[in-house]
Structure 1
Amino acid sequence: MSPITRVQTSFVALDVAVLGSGLGGLCAALSLRRAGHKVTLYERFDFAGEVGASLSVASNGSRWIERWGVDVPSVKPVTLQRLIMHDWETGTIKNKYDLGDYKTKFGSEYYNFHRIDMHQTLLDTVQQEGGAGIPCKIITNHRAIEVDSERGIVRFENGSSATADLIIGADGIRSNTRQQIGIIPEFKASESCCYRCIISAEKLHSLGLTEFITNNAIEFWGGYGINKIVLSACHNNEVVSCYCFYPASHNGLDKDGWNISATPQELVDTFPGLDKRIKQLFLHSEDIKMWRLYIHEEYPYWQQGIVGLLGDAAHPMLPDQSQGFCQGIEDAAALGLVFSEDHFKGDVRRALELYEEVRKPRATRVQKASAKARTDLSERIGWSTGLERKDKLTIEEHIKEAEAAKP
């Protein structure tokens, strides 16, 4: 029996390889660093190249960001205070759900961040000299092509290799690590696509659309059917981001990816009859990208030998619950706990089995709830009071589940 699988009577510090330095990989690295392990991240590009718009991070995610010692103000958050539903054509407010004293109720704030701000802060935090644990090492231009889950060997496209006591596959929705441990994804193209875009506060002020900067809200148009607009401010209220869902058939089914450029006019033409204010916003927006959506079935397992999966590599989900990043955070937190000084005595395989036992049912339920919310806004976790019904995941239940899903 190797030293890694032998049960010890005291904590064993590991050499950990994290494959992928996107948001999930960085959270895994930070959590495992705080737990006392030596972590190396392997990134296939010169840099992770995070793109995209905003990230709403509810308490089930923000509590861990804070607990790991991330400097939240440096991520330039907007603290969300309400959810607002608008009429599709007129923009009139139809419903408002005030979050109240969210922090007192759930333990931490409901934040909205810009992806790039979050990625840069996590990148800095995992490598900084200060804070608990050994600073993580990041090695770029290393694309993993082969992973040996028994011997802990990773081989890279550039001809180099590395060994580790624990390997975490955080390599996204098209994960090669997942394939290396024998998982063949079952998925189908959604009938939906999504445009995302951003617009500056300066432009919004000039357009007379200041309220979208000052509402401190996630705002919705549509959502009962495929069409839905989701708008929120981030980056210290200096930027508003939009996610704009529409039928995939609108522009053909031949485009694939999540970073396909589009023009403001293409965006406007996609949504006839929409609130004129939002059309005006779209015409002045920037960084417009199309995102093809897929529905993935639950995977049969998340781990094999000394390899575990995390985030989109383990449970890709539609974005309609704003839980993709939060579920990656929960994964990372669970890894930090099962490999902590209180729980880990040397058996990597058993620790990964425990990680799967506590995380897989929880993430799968959120994954299914996200698919249901794609065309039914009332299924969104935040719209809870007065909308409770069988099998609906409410905000209160969601936070309780997050607490319960710990080793």
Structure 2
Amino acid sequence: MSEQGLSQPVTLKLGSQVTEAHPDGTIILQDGSRYTADIVVGADGLRSVIRDAVLSEDDQAKPVHSSQAAFRFLVDTSTLRSDPTLASLADDNTDRLSLFADTSETIRERHVICGEVQNFVGIHPSLEVGNQEGDDAKAAMMAEFSHYDKKILRLFELAENVKRWPLYIHDPYPTWVKGRIVLVGDAAHPMLPYGGQGAMMAIEDGGILGSLFTNVLPNQIDERLSKYQQLRKNRVSRIQLLSQVRAGRENEVDPRISQYADGSTGC
């Protein structure tokens, strides 16, 4: 890529819903407009539209319910600090993750990632298959956590826009690349949140793509896309399988992990 190309600013087109993608690097938006690029990066998450252009329905194995679900909500750290009951949760704890675990039942865990905003994730046993939100989700959360410390219950009282999502197991996909399309993040490798690795793997994907596609000639694109998958897929597939089990139960997936062992190349 020329220096002039490197200096060109990126144009963001917000509110542009992609309805189709094609291996030649063409995407079609909801309004019918078409764009063609050297590569299309599918970073559109769990319900990826771009993935459908890379994988057939058979290759996208139906996800399996994990028998667990997660409550999610956000609350401003300033709200905690202004509440006498909750202030101690925020004091000197704004740059780390806090875990509130039910020691009588380790399948129940509560995570709060601290910063300017608290992100609460409550993992709990559940066979529900549909999403839930609003007052119904909040009531279910309060009932699920009713035996927790009063500080945690007070935190739940302040929660707004609570959501509950069932957690599904997704096995590794056979490929992330087709033609000029490449998948990254949850579009490529959706995983359960137990290890907190979903976002980490997406960041690594982006780092590798950025490295591989620096100063690239048009005739090198296919080779670099293949290299991206070669470098990333085994590593991420192992982590994806490990994300299906809790700490201490890794032996449950060990036989399957071996098929993604690194060869002479790999990450």
Task: Name the TM-score class by shorter chain.
Answer: 0.7 to 0.9
Does the aligned pair in 2 maintain the 1:261–1:290 contact within 8 Å?
no
Residue type at the aligned position of 1:162? Y
Trace 1:172-211 onto structure 2 (pairs within 5 A): 172-184=45-57, 185-186=60-61, 187-205=63-81, 206-211=83-88
Alpha-carbon deviation of 1:344? 5.6
Q: Secondary structure at 2:142's aligned position in 1?
A: helix
Trace 1:3-152 onto structure 2 (pairs within 5 A): 12=1, 133-149=7-23, 151-152=24-25
* Structure 2 unaligned spans of 5+: 255-261
Residue type at the aligned position of 1:323? Q
Partner residue in 1 for 2:118: 240
Question: RMSD over aligned Cα, in angstroms?
Answer: 2.8
Q: Secondary structure at 1:298's aligned position in 2?
A: coil
Q: 2:172 aligns with which of 273, 287, 298?
A: 298
Partner residue in 1 for 2:151: 277
Offset from partner CA, 1:177-220 (integer Å, 9 cap, x none): 11112343222122111111233344434233222112423222
Normalization by structure 2: what TM-score?
0.81
Normalization by structure 1: what TM-score?
0.55
What CA distance in whole angstroms lies between the structure 2 residues aligned with 1:172 and 1:194?
18
Partner residue in 2 for 1:171: 44
1:261 matched to 2:261? no
Q: Secondary structure at 1:319's aligned position in 2?
A: coil
Does the aligned pair in 1 maintain the 2:77–2:115 contact within 8 Å?
no
Partner residue in 2 for 1:106: none
What CA distance in whole angstroms lies between the structure 1 residues aligned with 2:201 and 2:7?
23
What CA distance in whole angstroms lies between the structure 2 residues aligned with 1:189 and 1:37?
50
What CA distance in whole angstroms lies between the structure 2 residues aligned with 1:345 and 1:138?
23
Q: Percent identity?
A: 27
What CA distance in whole angstroms lies between the structure 2 residues aligned with 1:364 and 1:339?
23
Q: 1:357 aligns with which of 219, 230, 251?
A: 230
Alpha-carbon deviation of 1:370? 1.8
* 172-181 or 132-141, larger mean C-alpha shift: 132-141
Aligned residues: 247
Residue type at the aligned position of 2:75? I
1:213 matched to 2:86? no
Does the aligned pair in 1 maintain the 2:98–2:114 contact within 8 Å?
no
Residue type at the aligned position of 1:306? R
Residue type at the aligned position of 2:159? S
Alpha-carbon deviation of 1:345? 6.7
Q: Secondary structure at 2:163's aligned position in 1?
A: strand
Partner residue in 1 for 2:257: none
1:189–1:354 distance in 2 versus 1, CA, 3 Å: same
Task: Flag as ranges the 4+ runs of structure 1 deviating above 6 A.
Answer: none
Offset from partner CA, 1:85-110 (integer Å, 9 cap, x none): xxxxxxxxxxxxxxxxxxxxxxxxxx
What CA distance in whole angstroms lies between the structure 2 residues aligned with 1:306 and 1:202?
46
Does the aligned pair in 2 maintain the 1:200–1:240 contact within 8 Å?
yes
Does the aligned pair in 1 maintain the 2:209–2:228 contact within 8 Å?
yes
Partner residue in 2 for 1:65: none
Partner residue in 1 for 2:259: none
1:379–1:323 distance in 2 versus 1, CA, 3 Å: farther
Alpha-carbon deviation of 1:333? 0.8
Does the aligned pair in 2 maintain the 1:183–1:300 contact within 8 Å?
no
1:133–1:310 distance in 2 versus 1, CA, 3 Å: farther
* Structure 1 unaligned spans of 5+: 1-11, 14-35, 39-131, 381-389, 392-400
Alpha-carbon deviation of 1:301? 0.6
Residue type at the aligned position of 2:43? A
1:348–1:202 distance in 2 versus 1, CA, 3 Å: closer
Offset from partner CA, 1:105-150 (integer Å, 9 cap, x none): xxxxxxxxxxxxxxxxxxxxxxxxxxx743211113432222221x
